[in-house]
């Protein structure tokens, strides 16, 4: 199930195009990288990788929660439609009984 949800997430969740934000991010990253020693650069990259992993997990969890909510709402709507049909049938049966009693 998790693989299916990941596939749906990849299909329907697209990252917004924010060219100016990406460019600013790259400029800031380059500036920080220039000023840090090699060992600290590796730590900075590790932090960035972990942040990306966390963001992807959060995005998938939000997608799954939204999907489950949607399925729950769909199930409730189906149940309400069924109840309406059942009520309509009960009303028709009651009318038929009244007609039969009058005859």
Average pLDDT over residues 14-29: 84
Query: Collapsing DSSP states into helix, strand and coil, what is residue 18?
Result: coil
Q: Who has greater pLDDT, 101 or 67?
A: 67
Q: At what angle do helices 19-35 and 38-102 cross, to 10 degrees?
A: 150
What's the mean per-residue pLDDT of the chain? 83
The answer to whether the predicted template modeling score (pTM) of the entire model surpasses 0.75 is no
Query: Collapsing DSSP states into helix, strand and coil, what is residue 15?
Result: coil
Task: Please write the tens of the pLDDT for every residue from 32-46.
Answer: 888 889 888 888 889
Distance of alpha carbon 77 from alpha carbon 54, whole angstroms: 34
CB 6 within 8 A of CB 60: yes
Model pLDDT, residue 54: 94
Distance of alpha carbon 25 from alpha carbon 36, whole angstroms: 16
């Amino acid at each position: 199930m998790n693989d299916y949800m990941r596939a749906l997430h990849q299909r329907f969740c697209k990252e917004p195009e924010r060219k100016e934000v990406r460019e600013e991010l790259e400029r800031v990253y380059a500036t920080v990288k220039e000023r840090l020693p090699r060992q600290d650069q590796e730590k900075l990259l590790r932090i960035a990788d972990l942040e990306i992993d966390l963001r992807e997990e959060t995005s998938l969890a939000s997608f799954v929660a939204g999907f489950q909510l949607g399925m729950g709402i769909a199930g409730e709507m189906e149940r309400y439609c069924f109840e309406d049909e059942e009520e309509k049938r009960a009303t028709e049966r009651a009318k038929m009984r009244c007609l039969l009693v009058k005859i």
